[in-house]
Structure 1
Amino acid sequence: MSLRIVVCVKYVPDATGDRHFADDLTVDREDVDGLLSELDEYAVEQALQIAGEADGAEVTVVTVGPEDAKDALRKALSMGADRAVHVEDDSLHGSDVMGTSLVLAKAVEKAGFDLVIAGMASTDGTMGVLPAVLAERLGVPQVTLLSEVGVQGGVVSGRRDGDTASERVEASLPAVVSVTDQSGEARYPSFKGIMAAKKKPVESWDLDDLGVEADEVGLAGAWTAVDSVAQRPARTAGTIVKDEGEGGKQLAEFLVGQKFI
């Protein structure tokens, strides 16, 4: 049987845009441009590399989000993924990592998998726990935060780099892995890839298709909540020290006053 790889990706607000919260204290995703999370591009890249070394392997990308989230899927398809699944349902609005992981687990199971690959975190929520929660829901091992990953003989293995040491970790398939931004530069979609992506299948599923109840997701089913938000204070002008022979002394006094030294 060929290797079935599923990559979980997310459509996130552009970090360079003016991001803010909506009236219900969820991230406003309508008034800012969105894109495929940069950290998920590394997951797509590693999936494509693994598939390239496995005869007949198939790469499926899955996302949970509104209509515009299809843009994230198209980017992954243009990079080289084979097919895509988009889970869209109005009841998903406001879902936290628990609700999202539930929906992803159901979607991954429905799509069929041997290996699930995710980025180390999303660039909007930046929690970094979804791969572990997803593995728990799927009942399979997790091998997370890998800067190098490969599959051979039904085993996924890789290198995890820490502050003081690196370790080799592995798990038998099926499994869930997450990769860091040190795992390898993601490829840029070619014109041929962009054109080919238009013909690749994109399935659309809702909660009924996955057997998930509306009260298990969204704001109502969220385990976490935002109580209040405040606008970030505008930047103020810094202290300018003119060096007229006393610059060094003034700088030292400033650092002492700020308790930097």
Structure 2
Amino acid sequence: MAFKIIVCAKQVPDTNEIRINPETGTLMRDGVPSILNHDDANALEEALKIKDKFDDVHITVVTMGPPQAQDLLIECLAMGADEGILISDRAVGGSDTWATSNAIAAAVKKIGDFDLIFAGRQAIDGDTAQVGPQLAEKLGLPQVTYVQKFEIADNKKDIRVERALEDGYEVIDIQTPCMLTAIKELNTPRYMYMKGIFDKEKEIKVWNAKDIEVDLTTVGLDASPTNVFRSFTPKPKGKGVIVEGDTEKDLAKNLLIGLKGKHVI
């Protein structure tokens, strides 16, 4: 029986290209390219590393979004995933993290048997880190977030991870089935394979709200309790000052003179 991994991924706007409308304070997405969310790429890479290690691994990538999100799934399949599923329906449009996790949980239940769910820690367009933990709770799964190191035993049942903390890390043993969220320190995502780009045998399924049998009162904008008050670009910091001097003593002296001149000391 195959070891089945589900990877949750999201197509996000390239934040290097995003601008803020100065009048409305909202994101201007027109003309902004979409990319595979960074942490989700790390999640997929770790799933692919498991597939490299074992012969009987099947990877399904699940995403939710508009029809063009199929491009993300094509990229994931070209990297080595076996199957892609897109949840796309106006009924789920505008979902916040709570509503999104409801839709994805319904899709996972439709997929059926699985051994491991991987997701990125957070999406760069929201930075909430909420969907992964919410999904685990709704599926009744044990979970570990902020995974920076991963090991799986040959029995494909026992897993040991390092969970990153602000001042160090935790070593946690967990068994499948479980939910893990990845951070960039976990690995370096691979590039797409040429063979994978032209592989027509791998399938992308598009499911609507009816297909996943989700309660429509739990998805979409109206079901989302989160409201974004305002988006804004932080004001640029003031220009720095370079302290010059021929020796370390000169540098220290000139620094003190400058600080005294500004009445800092």
TM-score class normalised by the smaller sequence = 0.7 to 0.9
CA offsets 1:84-140 (integer angstroms, 9 cap, x no match): 000001122221110111111111121232100011111111111221111100001
Q: What secondary structure is seen at the aligned counterpart in 1 of 2:180?
A: strand
Does the C-alpha gap of structure 1 residues 36 and 241 become closer, same or farther in structure 2, counting only changes over 3 Å? closer
CA offsets 1:54-75 (integer angstroms, 9 cap, x no match): 3311000000111121121111
Whether the aligned pair in 2 keeps the contact of 1:147 and 1:158 (CA below 8 Å) is yes
In the TM superposition, 1:223-242 aligns within 5 A as 223-230=225-232, 233=235, 235=236, 238=239
In the TM superposition, 1:11-90 aligns within 5 A as 11-20=11-20, 27-90=27-90
Whether the aligned pair in 2 keeps the contact of 1:25 and 1:226 (CA below 8 Å) is no
Matched with 2:216 is: 214
Displacement after TM superposition at 1:199 (Å) = 3.5
- One-letter amino acid of the structure 1 residue matched with residue 228 of structure 2: V
| Identity, % of aligned positions | 32
Whether the aligned pair in 1 keeps the contact of 2:26 and 2:230 (CA below 8 Å) is no
Displacement after TM superposition at 1:32 (Å) = 1.4
Moved more, 124-133 or 165-174: 165-174
Matched with 1:148 is: 149
Partners of 2:185 and 2:36 lie apart in 1 by 18
CA offsets 1:5-25 (integer angstroms, 9 cap, x no match): 00000000001113347x998
- Stretches of structure 1 that go unaligned for 5 or more consecutive residues are none
Q: What secondary structure is seen at the aligned counterpart in 2 of 1:182?
A: helix
Partners of 2:148 and 2:66 lie apart in 1 by 31
Moved more, 76-85 or 248-257: 248-257
Matched with 1:190 is: 193
Q: Give structure 1 regions of 4+ aligned residues with deviation exceeding 6 angstroms.
A: 23-26, 239-250
Partners of 2:220 and 2:28 lie apart in 1 by 15
Displacement after TM superposition at 1:159 (Å) = 1.6
Q: What secondary structure is seen at the aligned counterpart in 2 of 1:15?
A: coil
Moved more, 118-127 or 213-222: 213-222
Partners of 1:55 and 1:231 lie apart in 2 by 48
**RMSD in angstroms over aligned alpha carbons?**
2.9
CA offsets 1:125-183 (integer angstroms, 9 cap, x no match): 11112211111000010022111113333123212233443322122211101111111
Does the C-alpha gap of structure 1 residues 237 and 59 become closer, same or farther in structure 2, counting only changes over 3 Å? same
Matched with 2:94 is: 94
Moved more, 77-86 or 235-244: 235-244
Partners of 1:169 and 1:247 lie apart in 2 by 48
Matched with 1:134 is: 135
The number of residue pairs the alignment matches comes to 258
- One-letter amino acid of the structure 1 residue matched with residue 217 of structure 2: D
Whether the aligned pair in 2 keeps the contact of 1:241 and 1:247 (CA below 8 Å) is no
Does the C-alpha gap of structure 1 residues 46 and 242 become closer, same or farther in structure 2, counting only changes over 3 Å? closer
CA offsets 1:184-219 (integer angstroms, 9 cap, x no match): 1111112222222x4310000011111123332222
Partners of 1:34 and 1:161 lie apart in 2 by 28
- One-letter amino acid of the structure 1 residue matched with residue 39 of structure 2: L
Query: What is the TM-score when the length of structure 1 is the normalising length?
Result: 0.86
Whether the aligned pair in 2 keeps the contact of 1:5 and 1:115 (CA below 8 Å) is yes
Q: What secondary structure is seen at the aligned counterpart in 1 of 2:191?
A: coil
Whether the aligned pair in 2 keeps the contact of 1:101 and 1:134 (CA below 8 Å) is yes
Q: What secondary structure is seen at the aligned counterpart in 2 of 1:222?
A: coil
